[in-house]
Amino acid sequence: MSYLDDPRVLFAAERTLLAWQRTAIALMGFGFVVERFGLFLRMVSNQPLSPSQRGFSLWLGVGLLLIGAVVSVISAMQFRTVLRGLGEQEIPRGYWTGLGVWLNFALAFVALALAIHFVTAPFSSEDTPSSTTISSPPP
């Protein structure tokens, strides 16, 4: 129970939730970039990517995605705990406090779906990127 009968306490808790939400999004985005970096290396070198190279970028990227999902869920649960401790005077009438929480759970779901996709997507070490050539237009 807080000691202030002031709605600013709710708004401070909501800002904290949003800060953790941005952190989770950054972790998930970085995980996506790291996982896709293996594809980028393969395209730049025009050679097949070895399974060890693929495995490193895959598991590091998936790990960052999962950490982002966990941060998102824990921050939503922590915000709900803070809300339960607030008094009636601290939550403005008609103010919907559930949007940030549901958004965090949706972000965690997206991160889990991406992680599952990355892990289950088929990968062949013989795949070579097609060379792209720029042809001049016909005369």
Question: Given this model, what pLDDT does residue 129 score?
Answer: 47
Question: Is 134 inside any structural domain?
Answer: no
Residue 4 has a pLDDT of 66
Average pLDDT along the chain, 139 residues, taken 10 residues at a time: 70 92 95 83 69 75 95 95 84 84 95 92 55 57
Is residue 127, in this structure, part of any structural domain at all? no
pTM score > 0.85 for this model? no
Please indicate, yes or no, if residue 133 is contained in any of the structural domains. no
pLDDT value, residue 57: 81
Task: Decide: 27 and 75 in contact? Cβ < 8 Å.
Answer: no
Question: 5: left (phi > 0), else alpha (psi -120 to 50), else beta?
Answer: beta
Write down the pLDDT at residue 121.
Answer: 80
Phi, psi of 47 (to 5 degrees): -130, 160
Residue 71's Cβ-count burial label (10 Å; 0-12, 13-18, 19+) is: buried
Number of independent structural domains in the chain: 1
CA distance 98 to 90: 15
List the domain range (segments joined by +) for residue 29: 18-120
